[in-house]
Amino acid sequence: MMRQYELVERVLAYDPSANEALLNRAYVYAMKAHGNQQRASGDLYFSHPLEVAAILTELKLDDATIASALLHDVIEDTDVTRAEIDQKFGEEIGTLVEGLTKIKKLDLVTKKAEQAENFRKLLVAISSDIRVLLIKLADRLHNMRTLGHMKLESRRRISEETLEIYAPLAGRMGMQGMREELEALAFKWGYPEAYQAVVDKLTDIHSRNVGLVEEIAAALQGKLAGAGLEAEVYGREKKAFSIWRKMENRQISLEQLSDIYGFRVVVPTVDACYRALGSIHSAWRAVPGRFKDYISTPKQNNYQSLHTTIVGPRHQRVELQIRTAEMHTIAEYGVAAHALYKDGIATAGNGAATNGALAKENPYIWLRRLVDTLLEGDNPEEFLEHTKLELFQDQVFCFTPKGRLIALPRGATPIDFAYAVHTDIGNSCVGAIINGRQMPLATQLRNGDEVEVLTAKGQAPPAAWERIAVTGKARSAIRRAAREALRKQYSELGRRLLVSAFRRVGQDYSDDKIKMGMHRLTQKTIEDVFAAVGRGELPINDVLRAAVPEAELAKHMAARRRPGLQRSQGEDGWFNITKGIGLKFRWPGSGSKDRQAQHQVLPIRGLRNDVPVSFEEGGAVPGDRIVGVLTEGEGIRIFQIHSPRLKDYEHERWIDVTWDLNVDMPERFPAKLSVTALNEPGTLAQIAQLIGEAGGNIDNLRMVRRAPDFTEMAIEVEVWDLDHLTRIISGLKGKSVVNKVERIFA
């Protein structure tokens, strides 16, 4: 176990101004707080926070972060309180330790919904101060290094969590060294058989290529020196996990994977990077399509390098990364190389930051944007899914017509591009011009594409766009727009129901009357009232009792009960429910002179979408007289006028409904038949053949009652209209094997 003075000396080596007394106090306090607590390995528990602090000294982090690492488990695992930490070490360290304590309570690999919600909490916690994330990653790294002492099931669970969340998060923060070690350890403990197979194969390859890495490095070094370039060349075999993932993605064997050697060329300046690239390409053949320039176009995590693949010495495919020393530091340590802490502002403690190594955009900004997205209140499971997509996917870089760079995940479409520019641009998008040509919105973008988004006022994003978009921001915005449109539809429906209900009790409707009774309706706004009524969640009578004085309501109800008085039937105006179902409904109007004014569309989606508009069992077909019923929590349900179930619903919830068919898009509708037929071989085949030849579709068939000679069956069919259904019934009655055919109205 590292001694107290060794830890302090490590910090002072890169930050001579560090608070030595603070580090000593934190060391002693944490050691005493944990006392004789032990880990699964049998080691003293204090060895864990001490090793976490040691990992962070390798990242050259400030004294407050190191002290927080030493103390990060004391609130969770001992009797120490946040108030004590604040008193002894200050509020800054207290906040960091408490943030880590909250994260420690999260078990990310649980049921999907819980995992998603916990991941939201984790990102909110780390977004307030990036040091929380850095300590958490170091904490996870040390736990992975000692995972062999855990039970098999725990090793697999923690390894899965590491591969899904922590390793990609470290990568997006630009900390490639930490990401690689996390992946390697998670691969080893989570997939031991695959890990051992890859390691054994790499050992075999290495034994057959002894000295190859050194030979290639020397050849590169000599070529660059001959071109007058001062360069350092580092060579290595790729990591086992990286090779395994590439094999999985490409569905190839290890023997087919030729580029398992990687080399880094570190030169003094950006100009030298491009000169080194030219020198190497002139000496060895470059592999087409494998060149990427991340210097002129950095990744979102600030990563910069030139990537190329050549066929080098011994005809080996060799991957090369060419970068400056400054780029190399950022590539290895990412956000830690900048010492970007609270709110993205640099503090003392890291030479890379003070030397001006900040690039165009730090990776912490990505995290803050991610948190902004999750705080908009989308479904946590969807958020986790889309965040994982953005964590794992590689990127494409596209440009606006004015030259603004937009970085997107690979597979992104113009829809994702539009939302990346601005949410309003995405919501009003109607098309896209890619490299001067108008292209479909489902087109996958490629590196270097110039994308111009075409917009139109009043446009709303279709729900189907969510299946095309790949970024979390685009998908959440599309869902949000769909929810808002749906709410408006329910709100309009609820308002019209209330206007009709007020007329029935002899009252003139006004918003002010609803507002006066709002305190009795458990709704925040009048739009909430309309929407709740439209969805069937708030009974209309409850609204009437809240908005109309009890004396007036009682007076009207008494008048309705007097002999000789009937409810007036005003002129009605029709409103489309949905073209998909082919229905429209009407509300009581004020007279025939208003009929034309009331012929307006109320766009509510239909049966197969997200607004519940459905048919009662037994169905209905065009030509039937039908009634719509607003049911609580189920939307509008369509009944045939003879359905015995109609009597179960109050008349106040009945909506006059008629058919509104689109002749250009014919659609079948459900009906239910009771057929009594002889028990003879081939009877069912004859019935099915007749329905099929008549153009009907059997959706379901059930034997209801079986006797020695006859069988009664219920057949659910889909037909175009009442005439079509009548022809099928007549045809069935004409069959000698059929005794009786009746239509069933449930």
Tokens of 7: 């830890």
- Residues recorded for the chain: 746
How does DSSP assign 275-335, residue by residue? HHHHHHHHHSEEPTT--EETTTS--TT----EEEEEE-GGG-EEEEEEEEHHHHHHHHHTH
For the stretch 587-602, what's the b/e string if a residue is b when 16 or more beta carbons lie within 10 angstroms of its beta carbon? bbbeeeeeeeeeeeeb
Residues 6+ apart with CB under 8 A from 555: none
d(CA 598, CA 499): 14
Residues 6+ apart with CB under 8 A from 530: 490, 491, 492, 493, 494, 495, 498
d(CA 143, CA 74): 17
Residues 36 and 52 sit within 8 Å (Cβ to Cβ): no
Tokens of 162: 């590491």
Tokens of 469: 């978009």
For the stretch 119-131, what's the b/e string if a residue is b when 16 or more beta carbons lie within 10 angstroms of its beta carbon? bbbbbebbbebbb
d(CA 520, CA 112): 38
Residues 349 and 18 sit within 8 Å (Cβ to Cβ): yes
Residues 6+ apart with CB under 8 A from 43: 1
Catalytic position from the list 20, 43, 58, 77: 77
Tokens of 662: 């689109």
Helix (H, G, I), strand (E, B) or coil at 394: coil
**Integer Rg of the chain from CA:** 35
CA torsion 172-176-177-179 (nearest 10°) is 50
Residues 387 and 446 sit within 8 Å (Cβ to Cβ): no
DSSP 445: P
d(CA 497, CA 653): 8
Q: How far is CA 41 from CA 2, 13, 150, in A?
A: 17, 31, 8
d(CA 443, CA 420): 16
Q: Establish whether 76 is a catalytic residue.
A: yes
Q: Which residue has 């080194």 as its token pair?
A: 276
Residues 213 and 236 sit within 8 Å (Cβ to Cβ): yes
Tokens of 727: 């022809």
Nearest to 53 by CA among 33, 81, 24: 24
d(CA 8, CA 5): 5
Catalytic position from the list 43, 76, 86, 656: 76
Helix (H, G, I), strand (E, B) or coil at 548: coil
d(CA 305, CA 270): 9
Side by side, which strands form the sheet with 437-439? 437-439, 429-434, 451-455
Tokens of 311: 């066929």
Tokens of 267: 């030169």
In the chain, what is the greatest distance between 2 CA atoms, to the nearest angstrom? 112
DSSP 346: B
Active-site residue list: 76-77
